[in-house]
Structure 1
Amino acid sequence: MSQLEMWFEFIKQNWLVFLIALIVLLAIVSFVKTMIKWALVVVIVAAVAVYSGITWDDVNNVVTTVKDETVLKLKDQAMNSMMEEAKKATFKSNEDGTYTIKSPNLELTGTPNSDKVKLSFNGVSLGEWSMNDTIRDFVKEAKQNK
């Protein structure tokens, strides 16, 4: 039985508990107008989570998985943008010896003859990357666009 099937089975068996919790949450959010309502919401959500057997490790695993998948998708999008935006990229040599390449969605900063570059995609820093063929081609194309 897969993880998804297990969850569906659990929800089928405990649908009434989830329905009651949802109704109580909606009532609290609608009628209680103070900060206490958010404390009650957190308590109810935590109680349902404990009742369902969710542990902090499960939550941590889900958060880690979502984060990893998001970063991977951003990296894929950045690589695709490099290939598409290479002709629009502008190369600038900085006074400190580094260079900066900007295109509509990317900003790449590096040091000549270094294997590492810093990359931002749509204003979001993707950290330090090792040079690969796509990045080298992007840098070459940007230098030609000077």
Structure 2
Amino acid sequence: MDVQVWTEFLQENWLVIVVALVILFLVLNFVKTLVKWALVLVIAAFIIIYSGITLKDIGDAVTTVKDQAVSISQSEALNMMKNEAKEAKFTQNADGSFTIKTPNLEVNGTPGSDKVKVMFRGVSLGEWSVNSTLETFIKEAKQNSQ
């Protein structure tokens, strides 16, 4: 780092630097918090756009994280089905559908359908295809309720 280069730069651009510092001082002292954050977001967006990161890249990252979280929740729910099958209570609803409840799970479906809705600790995990673990869980819940 050459001191002569810096002094020459400051001598040539002193007016721009002073104006920028005055504007920065005014912004920091007079602009409301919301506007400050808006300016920060604009600058951050500019940096992100300038760096080459696209909204598609951000969307892909969010989708990946969501898929991983759902996968972890599904595997945890399947383990919970195995552990809580003895506590499962089967209820036949008036419309022909059924509900199975355990302390952490709720499974809703209709007899003969290959899809059930699964809720794990109050959070919907969506519709699942009935697999061997679910079939065993449903059978054991029916036996517990008889």
TM-score (norm 2): 0.73
Structure 1 partner of 2:143: 144
In structure 2, the residue corresponding to 1:35 is in which secondary structure?
Answer: helix
Q: How far is 1:41 from its partner?
A: 2.7
Structure 1 partner of 2:35: 36
Q: Quick check: which has more Rg, 1 or 2?
A: 2
In the TM superposition, 1:64-79 aligns within 5 A as 64-79=63-78
In the TM superposition, 1:9-48 aligns within 5 A as 34-48=33-47
Distance 1:37 1:86 in 2: 55
- Which residue type is aligned with residue 38 of structure 1? W
Cα-Cα RMSD: 1.9
Cα-to-partner distance string for 1:64-97 (whole Å, 9 max, x where unaligned): 1111111111111111111111111111111111
Structure 2 partner of 1:10: none
Distance 1:141 1:41 in 2: 57
Q: How far is 1:32 from its partner?
A: 6.4
In structure 2, the residue corresponding to 1:125 is in which secondary structure?
Answer: strand
TM-score (norm 1): 0.73
Gaps of 5+ in 2: 1-27
Q: How far is 1:134 from its partner?
A: 0.3
- Which residue type is aligned with residue 71 of structure 1? V
Q: How far is 1:33 from its partner?
A: 5.1
Structure 1 partner of 2:132: 133
Percent pairwise identity: 59
Gaps of 5+ in 1: 1-27
- Which residue type is aligned with residue 70 of structure 1? A
- Which residue type is aligned with residue 69 of structure 1? Q
